């Protein structure tokens, strides 16, 4: 009898365990159903909010642009199917929290080392670059004097197709042989005109694609060979022109911050390395970077970002380093408004994100002059440049009493003479032509140099 009661107790125990297990399974089932209901409710609410126009963004802070608007109804658009296509574009372009999701996607890709490569804009193939030898030097005669149009054509500096690799943009370069020959001929004409009056130097600045683009991407890039293009143009210049080839120097410093990622310009550090090469060519000792007062301005989003405002660029803005000579505080510049007094380094904190490059020397002014009161030997140089030169001219104040800066795109607004007259009037000993490589193959810019050269 005792054994029977004991067995019955064991059966009851097993039954209790099974009841508890069944109860737990039922509770888990209820929890799962409730979780599914919650998820469905959240997704349904999100779907409802996503459909309602009120909750959809109309402007992207990351891309700095107006987003697509809901299309207006028309029977013609309905029949052609464009109406529903436009609704699809509006729906995808204005999805709630789109900037946050795009930023998250970029962060996840970067975390796992996924390289995002994008091509933006039209990429045209440049001319074949002729082979050059040392015997090719001085084969181009000085270009003839250009005809001055009654009304000068507008000069536009364009940024062509872009390659975006992760958070860095690169500009394609298209070699144009006719314009390159014209550029070399214009420099030759300047050297001939100034023979016996001033020494002429030419510096062609490569763009970042030739310097900092990772080597594993270069094989598939349909961009003209920049060092070969520079070599070709130098081979077409007279021996009296001192060619300052800065490509090897910049390449040696490619791992440093010498080009911006969101802008087509070089940084002040890249310009400093070029300045050292220039002074070595002149026969002067370059100043140390430590001799300048240093400024840093964060939050720079330049021309590449304006052209292609992708989250990969917008989420990692550049910063601008600027170096101010300690001996002088201002640069006198001349514009249509007359003589004005600009700082050598302007306060970039008060500038918008896309304008911080103009901290250098007052920006693209037609003409400016910097004077170093600690140098009294009467030394004077002239820099004929576009915007790349702005980041370099302040360094020259350590080697010259007077540094004259001419932006050939705008000098006609304030000065009607030629380079010969300018050199004579100002007592210039050294003339530096400083141009990025795209300018040397852009006919409107080369024409502007020619107009000033005369």
Q: What is the pLDDT of residues 266-296, one digit of tens each?
A: 999 999 999 999 999 999 999 999 999 999 9
- Looking up tokens 């023979």 gives 195
Q: If phi over 0 gives left and psi between -120 and 50 gives alpha, with beta otherwise, what is residue 167?
A: alpha
Q: What distance in Å separates the CA atoms of residue 367 and residue 389, rounded to the nearest whole number?
A: 12
**Which pLDDT value is given to residue 180?**
97
Cβ(433)–Cβ(202) below 8 Å: yes
Q: What distance in Å separates the CA atoms of residue 379 and residue 429, rounded to the nearest whole number?
A: 7
**Which pLDDT value is given to residue 157?**
32
* Strands 199-205, 241-243: pairing kind: parallel
Q: Which of 247-256, 299-308, 333-342 has the lowest mean pLDDT?
A: 333-342
pLDDT digits (tens, 9 = 90+) for 136-155: 444 455 555 555 444 443 33
- Report if pTM > 0.75: no
**Which pLDDT value is given to residue 98?**
59
3-state secondary structure of 280: helix
CA dihedral 282, 241, 134, 136 (to 10 degrees): 170
Q: What is the torsional sign of CA 299, 321, 360, 305?
A: negative
**Backbone φ, ψ for residue 355 (5° rounding):** -115, 10
- Region 50-74: mean pLDDT is 64
Q: How confident is the model at residue 52 (pLDDT cuts 50, 70, 90)?
A: low
**Which pLDDT value is given to residue 114?**
39
- CB neighbours of residue 120 within 10 Å: 14
Q: What distance in Å separates the CA atoms of residue 327 and residue 402, rounded to the nearest whole number?
A: 13
Please give the helix or strand (H or E) that residue 338 lies within, else none.
strand 338-343
Mean pLDDT, the chain, integer = 83
CA dihedral 100, 102, 107, 111 (to 10 degrees): 140
Nearest to 396 by CA among 377, 357, 370: 370
Cβ(57)–Cβ(69) below 8 Å: no
pLDDT digits (tens, 9 = 90+) for 182-218: 999 999 999 999 999 999 999 999 999 999 998 887 7
In angstroms, how far is CA 182 from the centroid of its own chain? 26
Q: What distance in Å separates the CA atoms of residue 167 and residue 117, rounded to the nearest whole number?
A: 9
């Amino acid at each position: 009898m005792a054994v029977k009661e004991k067995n019955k107790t064991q059966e009851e125990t097993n039954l209790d365990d099974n009841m508890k297990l069944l109860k737990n399974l039922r509770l888990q089932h209820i929890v799962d159903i409730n979780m599914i209901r919650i998820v469905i409710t959240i997704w349904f609410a999100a779907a409802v909010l996503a459909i309602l126009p009120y909750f959809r963004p109309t402007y992207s802070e990351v891309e700095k642009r107006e987003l697509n608007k809901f299309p207006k109804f028309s029977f013609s658009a309905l029949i052609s199917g464009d109406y529903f296509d436009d609704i699809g574009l509006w729906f995808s372009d204005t999805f709630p929290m789109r900037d946050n999701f795009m930023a998250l996607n970029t962060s996840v890709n970067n975390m796992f080392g996924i390289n995002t490569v994008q091509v933006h804009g039209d990429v045209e193939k440049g001319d074949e670059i002729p082979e050059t030898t040392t015997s090719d030097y001085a084969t181009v005669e000085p270009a003839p004097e250009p005809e001055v149009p009654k009304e000068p054509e507008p000069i536009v500096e364009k940024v062509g197709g872009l390659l975006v690799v992760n958070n860095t943009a690169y500009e394609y370069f298209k070699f144009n042989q006719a314009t390159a020959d014209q550029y070399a001929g214009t420099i030759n004409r300047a050297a001939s005109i100034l023979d016996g009056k001033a020494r002429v130097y030419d510096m062609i600045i490569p763009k970042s694609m030739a310097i900092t683009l990772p080597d594993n991407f270069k094989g598939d890039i349909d961009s003209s060979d920049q060092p070969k293009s520079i070599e070709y143009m130098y081979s077409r210049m007279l021996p009296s022109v001192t060619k300052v080839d800065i490509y090897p120097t910049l390449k040696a410093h490619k791992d440093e911050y010498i080009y911006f990622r969101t802008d087509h310009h070089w940084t002040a550090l890249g310009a400093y390395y070029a300045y050292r090469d220039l002074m070595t060519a002149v026969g002067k000792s370059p100043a140390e970077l430590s001799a300048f007062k240093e400024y840093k301005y964060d939050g720079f989003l330049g021309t590449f970002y304006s052209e292609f405002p992708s989250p990969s660029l917008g989420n990692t803005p550049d910063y601008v380093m600027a170096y101010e000579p300690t001996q002088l505080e201002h640069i006198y510049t001349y514009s249509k408004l007359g003589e004005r007094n600009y700082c050598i380094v302007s306060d970039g904190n008060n500038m918008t994100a896309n304008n911080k490059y103009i901290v250098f020397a007052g920006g693209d002014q037609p003409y400016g002059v910097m004077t170093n009161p600690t140098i009294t030997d009467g030394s004077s140089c002239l820099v004929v440049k576009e915007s790349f030169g702005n980041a370099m001219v302040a360094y020259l104040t350590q080697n010259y009493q007077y540094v004259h800066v001419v932006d050939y795109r705008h000098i006609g607004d304030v000065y009607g003479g030629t380079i010969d007259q300018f050199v004579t009037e100002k007592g210039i000993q050294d003339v530096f032509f400083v141009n990025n490589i795209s300018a040397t193959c852009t006919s409107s810019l080369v024409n502007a140099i020619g107009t000033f050269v005369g």
